[in-house]
């Protein structure tokens, strides 16, 4: 938990603010590092919160103060990036308020974050252990699905798993929301889960999509919004229904996700309706298309137009499953299964001019490339939410099979920090590498896939990285971690991220 709760507290700020967050690690036998999802960290890559990449973990009993610049506005979240800790509850929402002249025209009431999360009634480390000792490739299934941390559950249905399974409570309750009849309500949808592709809807209400990740888009209407892990979608909903209470629903895709109880509900009550009333509304009849993809690129265009620049580097990144020498099934990205070294963050080595890295760190030195195009080729029958740190990616094309070389909307493609890669398909992205010198992770956001090596690092503009003045506190955090690991052995059985 963070500050005693799950989800953790909402961090709220205005566009242009500097946010300061002090993290105290009170976990006795593990490090921790918090990642601020979607924040570009331009000029301050050491604040990204990626252990083994941009910092050493915060040692048990120690603290670190992150300083974040709110250069973008909208909805996001923070989470631990140390192993799969966030699957155990180390997450929380972020709201960055933008220019009033834009936002207030779109809605009357800000409902706030709506966090959608699959849930496991097991310790996260046991699930990592299951992933990393899995010689029969038995996938990890979630036990429940939550809206803002709540959902009822039938505890006797739990499968036998581990002796460390946390206590389970039947009928723990659901989240409840209040709408004002006739008013427009902003809902900040966040998929903060570990594996499941979420399909969100509200019975009898149309969702007007106004933003994806940290990018405002030309609004469009839909009945169902699809969110991969890490994705955010802001929707405006008009309370124009005839009933007094409605179900809000978020279902993990049965085709694209692994969940034994995938259907989450919350209740929406109009005005002063008694919140003990159970809604009697019916779900929309919108079948799951089974593509495991986001909405069509043709209908998602940013309000602020940016043309795709000419690229000066093209990379192909095949994604593969393979069995290692111990018989364990792992993921590889461009031929390498990642494993990080908590004691030697890539960024700090590059800052010292050391550009020689272990192969298993999977570092790609982009040198002085200005704009890089990447074709991610999925050689598996599993979908992946692909996340890039430090940049909003131009999403140029996605689809089944191989890329035909075309670009969807080259004059103004959607820009996001997470995008769905469909099974046996491709995802073509581009990012302006020269705009943000640093070391930036590029990875699948499914917790168990990252644990099993689905991760690469892009080193951008190393000459500028070498000139950076990294604060002394970053080195001090590494000294504290080295001191702790001098007498303690971290239980790093996975990639570390």
Asked if the structure places residue 430 within a domain, the reply is: yes
Task: Read off the pLDDT of each residue in 96-115 and give the average, rounded to a whole number.
Answer: 85
* pLDDT tens, position by position, 300-333: 999 999 999 999 999 999 999 999 999 999 999 9
Residue 125 lies in a domain: no
As a whole number, mean pLDDT of residues 86-102 equals 91
Q: Which pLDDT value is given to residue 102?
A: 62
Longest dimension (CA), the chain: 65
Read off the pLDDT of each residue in 155-160 and give the average, rounded to a whole number: 83
What average pLDDT does this structure show over 124-151? Answer: 91
Show the 3-state SS of the chain: CECCECCCCCEEEECCCEEEEEEECCCCCCCECEEECCCCCCCCHHHCCCECCCECCECCCCEEEEEEECCCCEEEEEEECCCCHHHHCCEEEEEEECCHHHHCCCCCEEEEEEEEEEECCCCHHHHHHHHHCCCCCCCCCECEEEECCECCCCHHHCCCCCCCCCCCCCCCCCCEEEECCCCEEEEEEEECCCCCCEEEEECCECEEEEEECCEEEEEEEECCEEECCCCEEEEEEECCCCCCEEEEEEEECCCCCCECCCEEEEEEEECCCCCCCCCCCCCCCCCCCCCCCCCCHHHCCECCCCCCCCCCEEEEEEEEEEECCCCCEEEEECCECCCCCCCCCHHHHHHCCCCCCCHHHCEEECCCCCCEEEEEEECCCCCEEEEECCCCEEEEEEEECCCCCCCCCCCCCCEECEEEECCCEEEEEEECHHHCCEEEEEEECCHHHHHCCCEEEEEECHHHHHHCCCCHHHHHHHHHHHHHHHHCCCCCCCCCC
Q: Is residue 359 part of a domain?
A: yes
Q: Is residue 440 part of a domain?
A: yes
Q: Kindly tell me the burial class for residue 166, based on how many C-beta atoms sit within 10 Å of its own C-beta (0-12, 13-18, 19 or more).
A: exposed
Higher pLDDT, 169 or 247: 247
Edge-first strand listing for the sheet containing 372-378: 329-333, 313-323, 372-378, 425-431, 393-400, 415-416
Cβ-defined contacts of 480-483 (< 8 Å, 24+): 480/56, 480/58, 480/59, 480/62, 481/31, 481/56, 481/57, 481/58, 481/59, 481/342, 481/343, 482/56, 482/343, 483/59
* The pLDDT of residue 101: 63
Q: What is the C-alpha to C-alpha distance for residues 482 and 321, in angstroms, rounded to an integer?
A: 33
Q: Indicate if the pLDDT at residue 411 is higher than 70.
A: yes
**pLDDT mean across residues, the chain:** 96
pLDDT score of 195:
98
Q: Is residue 294 part of a domain?
A: no
Residue 16, phi-psi category: left (phi > 0), alpha (psi -120 to 50), beta (remainder): left
The proportion of the chain whose per-residue pLDDT surpasses 70, expressed as a percent, equals 98
Chain-centre distance of CA 384, in angstroms? 11
Tens digit of pLDDT for each residue in 365-378?
999 999 999 999 99
Q: What is the domain-level CATH number for residue 389?
A: 2.60.40.420
Structure token digits, residue 348? 């700090």
pLDDT at 134 > cutoff 80: no
Signed CA dihedral, 162, 167, 168, 170: sign only: positive
Give the chain's domain count.
1
Least confident piece of the model among 30-44, 166-180, 288-302, 431-445: 166-180
User: What pLDDT is recorded for position 138?
Assistant: 76
Calpha distance 36→157 (Å, rounded): 35
Domain membership of residue 333 (yes or no) is: yes
The number of CA neighbours under 13 Å toward the Cβ of 373 is 15
User: With 90 as the cut, is the pLDDT of residue 53 above it?
Assistant: yes
pLDDT at 427 over 90: yes
Give domain status of residue 293, yes or no. no
Angle subtended at Cα 51 by Cα 50 and Cα 52, rounded to the nearest 5 degrees:
115
Domain around 470: 313-487
Task: Using the structure block, give the residue that is written with the tokens 């700090």.
Answer: 348
* Angular region, 262: left φ>0, alpha ψ -120 to 50, beta rest: alpha
Asked whether residue 162 carries a pLDDT value surpassing 60, the answer given is: no
Residue 139 pLDDT: 84
Angle at alpha carbon of residue 398, lines to 394 and 400, rounded to 5°? 170
Asked whether the predicted pLDDT for residue 128 surpasses 80, the reply is: yes
Region 225-231: mean pLDDT is 99
Please indicate, yes or no, if residue 50 is contained in any of the structural domains: no
User: With 60 as the cut, is the pLDDT of residue 163 above it?
Assistant: no
Confidence class of residue 227 from pLDDT cuts 50, 70 and 90? very high
């Amino acid at each position: 938990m963070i500050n005693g709760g799950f989800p953790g507290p909402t961090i709220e700020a205005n566009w242009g603010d500097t946010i300061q967050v002090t993290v105290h690690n009170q976990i006795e036998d593990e490090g921790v590092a918090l990642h601020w999802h979607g924040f570009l960290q331009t000029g301050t890559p050491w604040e990204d919160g990626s252990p083994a990449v941009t910092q050493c973990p915060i040692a048990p009993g120690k603290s670190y103060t992150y300083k974040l610049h709110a250069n973008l506005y909208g909805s996001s979240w923070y989470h631990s990036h140390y192993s799969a800790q966030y699957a155990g509850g180390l997450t929380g929402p972020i709201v960055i308020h933008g220019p009033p002249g834009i936002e207030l025209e779109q809605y009357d009431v800000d409902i706030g974050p709506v966090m959608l999360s699959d849930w496991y009634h097991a310790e996260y480390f046991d699930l990592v252990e299951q992933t990393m000792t899995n010689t029969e490739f038995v996938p990890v299934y979630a036990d429940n699905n939550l809206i803002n941390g709540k959902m009822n559950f039938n505890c006797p249905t739990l499968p036998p798993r581990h002796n460390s399974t946390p206590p389970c409570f039947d009928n723990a309750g659901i989240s409840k929301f209040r709408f004002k009849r006739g008013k427009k309500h902003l809902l900040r949808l966040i998929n903060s889960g570990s594996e499941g592709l979420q399909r969100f809807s509200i019975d009898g209400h149309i969702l007007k999509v106004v933003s994806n990740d940290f990018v405002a888009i030309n609004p469009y209407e839909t009945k169902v919004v699809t969110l991969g892990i890490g994705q955010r979608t802001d929707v405006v909903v008009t309370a124009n229904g005839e009933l007094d209470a409605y179900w809000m629903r978020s279902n993990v895709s049965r085709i694209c996700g692994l969940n034994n109880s995938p259907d989450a509900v919350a209740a929406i009550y109009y005005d002063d309706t008694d919140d003990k009333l159970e809604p009697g509304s019916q779900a929309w009849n919108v079948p799951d298309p089974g593509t495991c993809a986001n909405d069509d690129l043709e209908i998602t265009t940013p309000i602020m137009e940016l043309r795709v620049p000419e690229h000066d580097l093209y990379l192909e990144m095949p994604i593969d499953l393979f069995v290692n020498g111990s018989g364990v099934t792992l993921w590889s990205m461009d031929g390498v299964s990642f494993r990080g070294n908590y004691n030697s963050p890539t960024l700090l080595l590059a800052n010292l001019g050391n550009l020689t890295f272990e192969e298993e760190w999977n570092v790609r030195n982009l040198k002085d490339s200005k704009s890089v195009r990447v074709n991610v080729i999925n050689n598996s029958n599993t979908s992946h939410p692909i996340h890039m740190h430090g940049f909003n990616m131009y999403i140029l094309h996605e689809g089944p099979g191989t890329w035909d070389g075309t670009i969807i909307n080259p004059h103004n493609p959607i820009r996001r920090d997470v995008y769905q890669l469909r099974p046996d398909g491709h995802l073509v992205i581009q990012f302006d590498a020269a705009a943000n010198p640093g070391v930036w992770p590029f990875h699948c956001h499914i917790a168990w896939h990252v644990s099993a090596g689905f991760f690469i690092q892009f080193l951008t503009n190393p000459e500028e990285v070498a000139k950076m003045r990294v604060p002394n506190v970053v080195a001090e955090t590494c000294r504290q971690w080295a001191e702790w690991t001098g007498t303690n052995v971290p239980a790093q059985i996975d990639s570390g991220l």
